[in-house]
Amino acid sequence: MPAYLDTPSELWHKIFEIATEEPDPLVCFVQDYHGTRRDVTRPPYQRYKESSAIKLALCGVSRHWNAGKRRRLALLLRTINSSPSSGPPNIPSQGPAADTGGSRLGAFVRRLDLTFLDGIEDSQHYPELAGTGVAQLVSKLPNLEVLSVQTSPDVSPLDTLQVSSPHLKHFHWRRDSVDPDVRVPLSALLEFFDSHPTLETFHMVYNLEEANTLQPGEPPRWEGQSYPSLRHWVLRQNHVDVLAHFPSTLFPGLEALTFPYYPQINKHLPRLTSFLAVHGSRLTTIRLAPHKFLRALLIEVARGCPRLREVHLVYTRRWITSSRIAEVSLAITMPRITTLGLTLFNHYHGTHSNGWERTLKLRWKDIFPNLRTVKLLEEIDVDRLKDMPEELDEIAKYWIDHGVAFKDHLGLPFNRDLDSFVVEL
């Protein structure tokens, strides 16, 4: 047996922690759970990047640790499988995964992020990156709380759904294709919910199979299940169509909803309206991409979500103007909304539109008269605004004058190191 396997995993963990000043990945490697992945090359994640670089250098001293791309996942699996099966004293292995070979090293893992940037080419040339390989790895992590996977469209999440830790709280599975090649049976989804009683966030960009197998007008099968732990769902249009047929008691704890589709395309607004009529009564936060149709969207949201307190709007171009705000405010006001979140960066084109920052000074209080907080949701918007000190000063003062706290993506006031610049409300 190699010498490194004779060393207790707790000791290796402590050595790496001291050598790399390793930050807590559940804290510093922030993901906002709206479906947008943070860019770890930008502040405040430089510390994580530097820590990773030191770890890579340490791994280079051992041929057992140092491996190329082709064998990374396979070697990770081998390392976990080679470690003793009993969990460490301070992190006991729990649940079904522990009973089926949960390993000593795997019990330490609470978050796993897998991104295969080469997509389908990776899964063709490196079979260990296929869905079964991911599932095999996940099955060895009995205390996993956060799972985020981005892979090619031909990789099914079904095996992973079946073996993931019962302690899972946040599940994200994305793929690099608009049209998925894999469909997930509704029965498999409900079984996943049944076996994960602490699941809070669900994001899976695959269609549910029953939407296409049911006869027109036939409701999906439902046996009275209830999943109170679920708080946030990143909805696919197909999910909206299926779940609109289920009773509101299915997800009694649903508080936040992300629906990332333009309302005028493919009848997305009527679809969302049908969903909100059933499941919108408990929502407190909703994230939408209104495009040029803010008025129609907010009218339906106000009707279907009486408890809503926070609205997040994604504008990748300057579709919103002063005249459009005035037009919306004549049709509807939403006095219950106290927080407005904005995303203003175009991820598809990697840029901001001209004058994007002026969106932050529009008369949003005409629509949301009891607004108390405006915040930028994306780190890249925050950093870009900080590079524009004069505009930042002007925007912050504008909101101070209106009694509104202006905050960044971490929920901190934009004070630019001047404590008196923005008051906390």
Is 240 domain-assigned? no
Identify the DSSP state of 257: E
**Four-CA torsion 118, 234, 29, 373, nearest 10 degrees:** 140
Structure tokens at 83: 């470690």
Percent of the chain residues past pLDDT 90, beyond the cut: 39
Please report the pLDDT score of residue 84 as a whole number: 53
Query: Residue 246 falls within a domain, yes or no?
Result: no
* Cα angle 301, 303, 308; round to 5: 55
Q: Given this model, what pLDDT does residue 149 score?
A: 85
327, pLDDT greater than 70: yes
pLDDT digits 0-9 by tens, 267-289: 899 999 999 999 999 999 999 99
Q: 279 Cβ partners below 8 Å, 6+ apart? A: 243, 244, 248, 250, 251, 254, 257
Q: In this structure, is residue 33 part of a structural domain?
A: yes
pTM: 0.77
Any domain includes 339: no
The count of structural domains within the chain is: 1
Residue 49's domain spans which residues? 1-66
Q: Is the dihedral of CA 111, 116, 20, 135 positive or negative?
A: positive
In angstroms, the CA 211 to CA 308 distance is 29
371 belongs to a structural domain: no
In this predicted structure, the answer to whether residue 404 has a pLDDT above a threshold of 90 is yes
Q: E strands within 222-338?
A: 232-234, 256-259, 285-288, 310-314
- CA 316, CA 410: separation in Å to the nearest integer? 21
Considering the domain boundaries, does residue 24 fall inside one?
yes
Q: How many residues does the chain have?
A: 425
Give the model's pLDDT for residue 232: 93
Q: Is residue 238 part of a domain?
A: no
Residue 419: band (very low, low, confident or very high) from pLDDT cuts 50, 70, 90: very low
> Does residue 39 lie within any of the structural domains?
yes
Name the pLDDT band for 96 (thresholds 50, 70, 90).
very low
| Angle in degrees, CA 414, 418, 419, rounded to 5 | 85
